[in-house]
A and B are shown apart, each in its own frame.
Chain A
């Protein structure tokens, strides 16, 4: 460190083995490059109608690579889309309300309902290659990941403090500078945490999307998901392969957590918008290693700065950088023609879609509709049971962990990893257990849905318990509150906002999980029970698209209505009466 920087206190560790780090980074880069080439040649190959999924353990690394690459591409697409969408929504007051409403609705539609139409569309788009199926699966994972990222970015943009926006205006920042120096950094923390959730959700759907049937075709993509599924549906069940597959999956998730998420969280501390240093910080040795200035990291930095300079010089001549743009510009910028045309075309598209849907729905008979409604009721009860059961065990455990700081520090990262392991991967194992126990899928599906969603509630309850201020606990101790009093006056109200957040996420997850949990192929049997999720899966399997459409509409309507009537109200209550800071 140069002498004049002695007064700065940046935590940078100095290590000697710079060569080792550079080698590792180079090796990773080469592996990635080789993987992309391999993937490229495979994609461009002729689509083999029935890809044989090998059960040998030696095929696992390659399959894992494929799955990872799919996840990576889907995540990048989600990030770019979310940022663009959030940006447009935040800065176009006219379009804002619509865009957010659309986001809300799309978020409530179960992802797996999109499976057949997206797949078939992609196959039609790229008929000759395996690429079509790949694109379809990536797109499906994308639809599971993108909504909460978009919401997070949008709400970050809307909560930037006024004076910082004014500073950017008065000093004439270009939109580029404002984006990279104000908006992205401000949104960084939200994006990091939401990315963790998104990738976890992505794994959940990846496992299902890699192998499925749309009569009469069987679609299979080589990857971890199809490996696990085919091992489970083999006759007899290949437990050896199943366990190996699960092991590799858990390994990947733990590695992602340690090598990617923890360093990101530690790095994003830099963007925390607070005026003083906070006491507790997440540390990551990996981050410290990467932050060391080595030859490898300095090169791209220098190239980027040179590029940036040219961009800034070019931008300084634009109007944005020469004239101060008022913030409350009430004059309507630009012509009204473009948005009007867009609205017109959008209306046309919606109309065409509605006509097509109506035609499709005409094929549905009344008994089928009655069955769907019954199924909807059954699944609704199951989701409610899942939430109640989940809350019943996670609240005591979560509070116990959260109120004990030492325990919290050890267990919270573990719960984070547990929440990332996709329940869909564990389903086959659980199904086997269920079959052996002889239980029906009616109750068993609740267990499966619980497995997928209880971690969200636990995670949030722990965070809520940690956030209860210690002076309130001291009051409870001082006045010797009884256990009942302590729970009803301090703990439950204290964790209420976090509990509601957890329940909202769990509810959405439970509806999505019901599609898989209520209808399952194992061995050569098909287990199913009365429920809307089962009906959606069955319709996908048998290719009856009209039933699928109606069932999807029904599920989306129920989710959106519950959201508005129940969760929004609870959330508003949590924000006003139960908020801890004034």
Chain B
């Protein structure tokens, strides 16, 4: 694996002098109404140099899309500066394009009009526009579809139009925001190889490509350089060059080893990545986490994962697990995180190992499972413990949701707070710890226990 990847010394003078885009100490904060500032991205340095495809990889919530928008000039960093050929990006006449996850085509314009629109903005004459657009549509393989409307096209074709539109302006840097995640597997494969072809044959005048993705295999397949982001707050965990020559074979040893390495990096967010000597990782902003961030996983998913692990003999490589389930990392990691949080499994060297409690959990029938889940949740998850205690201590056994939202507010953004509450409610309902009244937005004790407590109270 050491041959496949070498850490890139991103700050050497040789590479930064001809960097197209250079970000220096950029940070992003969002102001909360409660006067707190949530740091979404901590101080980061990044450069995009000509001649390479860079992939930005990370789980959801790591701020990848925000990073892309800051680098392309769509979003102003709260601190720090982005430079375009050493000029501040806010005043420079940059030439970049973005290919969007949801295609962002204008449904009332034909394919040709969609591709012509950026040229129209640049004042290109009608004939020249038409010629360039038709040529670009031909390059992406949509010859004959000029007069079609986007709603008549399939997803793959729509993304091809997205590519045509992005490339017709001959951008210096091509940004891509999870461009293939809305497509089916075969179409995505197709488009990936076409992209590599265009890049290799120098058919695009583009000098650099910046790809944001959550798909590890896609990153290893396409990129010359991979940057892995961590979250809370977003920061670069590792940044290395991929030495495997193109065309890359998914089944080859260096490929699978590299994918494995990246999985390891992603599943141990608290451990600094091993194979990065001499790499200056920026110091992480380790605020005292009061609440652990609840992974967005359902109890059913956790049970399923543990049962699968037992099938495999109690221990399996995370990469192979994902492969068996045909899962994306975004889907598997939260479940692994959740099981780890509850003490049902441990991660050792990139392998998931089931613990004793986990084994008991997986082998029990449903009522016992709920009981074990309840015990583990109360022991390990602060938020659930607090909700339960609050409900027990109040005389009417109800607590408004706002009470906990206020406390979560200090650590998480508004959207994340809602997700945390939703996950807590799902876990609490499963474990029969408490129930949630959506109409009044209050936590309540489940009726049976309520009566129990009332009966116990009456007995006294």
Contacts and interface: CB of A to CB of B under 8 A. Distances in A.
B404 interface: no
Nearest to B439: A577
Given A7-B148, A275-B151, A330-B76, A166 B104 contact: yes
A342 interface: no
A312 B119 CA distance: 10
Contact of B108 (A170, A270, A313, A317): A270
Contacts of B72: 170, 324
A404 interface: no
A326 B108 contact: no
A318 to B, nearest CB: 10
A234 to B, nearest CB: 52
A262 interface: no
Given A9-B152, A171-B169, A177-B121, A166 B107 contact: no
A323 B169 CA distance: 14
B145 interface: yes
A170 B97 contact: yes
- Binding site of A, secondary structure by majority: helix, strand, loop or mixed? loop
Interface stretch (B4-12, B88-96, B394-402, B444-452): B88-96
- Which of A170, A276, A277, A328 gathers the greatest number of chain B CB atoms within 10 Å? A170
B104 A172 contact: no
A24 interface: no
Given A7-B144, A271-B108, A323-B93, A277 B151 contact: yes
Interface in B93-110: 93-94, 96-98, 100-102, 104, 106-110
A271 B107 contact: yes
Contact of A274 (B106, B107, B118): B107
A84 interface: no
B172 to A, nearest CB: 13
A295 interface: no
A313 B145 CA distance: 27
21 contacts: A9-B152, A161-B104, A164-B104, A164-B106, A166-B69, A166-B100, A170-B74, A170-B97, A171-B118, A181-B109, A271-B108, A272-B107, A274-B107, A313-B125, A316-B123, A323-B92, A323-B93, A324-B94, A326-B90, A328-B76, A331-B76
Nearest to A323: B93
Contacts of B152: 8-9, 277
Interface of A: 4-10, 161, 163-164, 166-167, 169-174, 177, 181-182, 185, 270-277, 305, 309, 312-317, 321-324, 326-331, 577
Contacts of B100: 163, 166-167
B364 interface: no
A277 B110 CA distance: 15
B325 to A, nearest CB: 26
- Binding site of B, secondary structure by majority: helix, strand, loop or mixed? loop
Nearest to A164: B104
B14 interface: no
B127 to A, nearest CB: 10
B156 interface: no
Nearest to A174: B121
B151 A166 contact: no
Interface in B37-74: 69, 72-74
A394 B72 CA distance: 55
A194 B353 CA distance: 62
B117 interface: yes
B147 interface: yes
- The 8 lowest CB-CB distance pairs between A and B, nearest first, are A316-B123, A8-B147, A171-B118, A163-B104, A324-B73, A167-B104, A313-B123, A185-B108
A9 B121 contact: no
- Which of A7, A177, A272, A315 gathers the greatest number of chain B CB atoms within 10 Å? A7
